[in-house]
């Protein structure tokens, strides 16, 4: 290692060992730099007995400069993927101080893409599918994170333990088990070096998920419909599925007055009380069949009106009987003077 050679050189030059407690301070304390870019770092000695300072680097160095307590390393362009600049100082008693500058050299990916999509096609609900995200020429891969998105939410995060500091190609894999609700959503991957800001992320083109699934009723429970005379019945059997489902109805008896809408998911009966019974709706596509049952019953009749009508007829009958008893003559005619009427002769119109 380079620092071993530096230690050996310093010991040979001064005859003194390197101090175990170096009082050197760097600003910034670490560097993250894109390959080919420049950077600058200042190193200061905190001791008031400093004789001289210098920088050693694989790219460049300054050599020992006497009479300074601060020294700057300027790198015009980083040309290596791993560099280890070292700042050193020599004190007046020939004590040596040495510290390393942590430098991370990076390169953002050339491209991020989903692969093998042509082999997938539509997904079937409940099956597992393996998706692949390819990241081209990124460094250092040990700081790479890959985020998998489904419907604008992160579903999976991948990381790598890559020792190489130079650019490499990496692939991330994501297992998808689609549900019916995933139909029409988008999946994509996003690559990011962890030490870079949010805006440095690079995304793949999204993949729109097509999910094949059996019919699902909008209202899955069986229904009981209670109707009154003259009401219109609407039996709703709407369902969704992919491919689009087909509908069939089984009716309790031949019905003439009914209407079905275009996709057959509703049944309308216009004279409900004539059609009580059980109705069956069957919905199917190439991935399954579902059945829903409707029970149509007649609402109890309103007895109050019936009792009122019967009471009215009884009242009229009693009233007629009373009228006949007091005003009906033996000849079948009505007279207000029935009590003084004598058969065969006229009644007296006054005292005799």
Residue 258 burial (CB < 10 Å; 0-12/13-18/19+)?
middle
Percent of the chain with pLDDT over 90: 55
- Taking CA atoms, 70 is separated from 20, 27, 30, 85, 172, in Å, by 20, 11, 17, 15, 46
**How confident is residue 228, by pLDDT bands cut at 50, 70 and 90?**
confident
Statement: the pTM of the whole predicted model exceeds 0.95 = no
As a whole number, the mean pLDDT across the chain is 81
Q: Has residue 86 got a pLDDT over 80?
A: yes
* 103: helix, strand or coil: strand
* Nearest alpha-carbon partner for 151 in 179, 116, 172: 179
* Mean of pLDDT values over 160-169: 94
Condensed to tens digits (0 to 9), the pLDDT of residues 99-141 reads: 999 999 999 999 999 987 777 789 999 999 999 999 999 999 9
The span from the CA of 294 to the CA of 249, in Å, is: 11
pLDDT at 48: 86
Percent of the chain with pLDDT over 70: 74
**How confident is residue 251, by pLDDT bands cut at 50, 70 and 90?**
confident
**How confident is residue 285, by pLDDT bands cut at 50, 70 and 90?**
very high
The span from the CA of 101 to the CA of 70, in Å, is: 15
**How confident is residue 304, by pLDDT bands cut at 50, 70 and 90?**
low
- Answer for the pair 189, 147: CB distance below 8 angstroms, yes or no: yes
Q: ω before 243 within 30° of 0 (cis)?
A: yes
């Amino acid at each position: 290692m380079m620092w071993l050679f530096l230690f050996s050189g310093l010991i040979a030059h001064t005859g003194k060992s390197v101090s175990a407690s170096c009082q050197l301070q760097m600003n910034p304390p670490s560097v993250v730099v894109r390959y080919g870019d420049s950077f600058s770092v200042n190193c200061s000695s905190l001791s008031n007995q400093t004789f001289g300072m210098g920088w050693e680097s694989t790219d460049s160095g300054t050599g020992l400069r006497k009479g300074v307590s601060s020294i700057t390393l300027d790198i015009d362009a980083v040309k290596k993927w791993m560099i280890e600049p070292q700042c050193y100082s020599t004190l007046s008693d020939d004590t040596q101080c040495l510290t390393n500058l942590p430098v991370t050299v990076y390169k953002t990916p050339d491209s991020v893409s989903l692969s093998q999509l042509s082999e997938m096609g539509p997904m079937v609900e409940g099956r597992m599918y393996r998706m692949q995200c390819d990241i081209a020429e990124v460094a250092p891969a040990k700081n790479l994170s890959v985020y998998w998105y489904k419907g604008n939410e992160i579903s999976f995060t991948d990381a790598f333990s890559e020792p190489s500091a130079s650019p490499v190609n990496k692939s991330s894999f994501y297992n998808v088990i689609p549900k019916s609700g995933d139909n029409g959503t988008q999946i994509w991957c996003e690559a990011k070096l962890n030490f870079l800001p949010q805006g440095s992320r690079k995304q793949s083109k999204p993949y729109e998920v097509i999910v094949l699934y059996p019919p699902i009723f909008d209202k899955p429970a069986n229904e009981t419909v209670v109707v009154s005379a003259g009401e219109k019945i609407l039996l709703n059997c709407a369902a969704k599925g992919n491919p689009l489902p087909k509908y069939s109805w089984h009716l309790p008896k031949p019905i003439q007055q009914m209407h079905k809408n275009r996709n057959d998911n509703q049944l309308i009966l216009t004279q409900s009380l004539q059609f009580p019974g059980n109705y069956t709706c069957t919905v199917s596509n190439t991935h399954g069949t579902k059945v829903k049952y409707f029970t149509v019953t007649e609402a109890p009749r309103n007895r109050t009106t019936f009792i009122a009508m019967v009471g009215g007829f009884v009242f009229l009958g009693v009233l007629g009987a009373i009228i006949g008893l007091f005003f009906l003559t033996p000849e079948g005619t009505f007279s207000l003077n029935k009590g003084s009427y004598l058969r065969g002769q006229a009644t007296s119109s006054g005292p005799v």
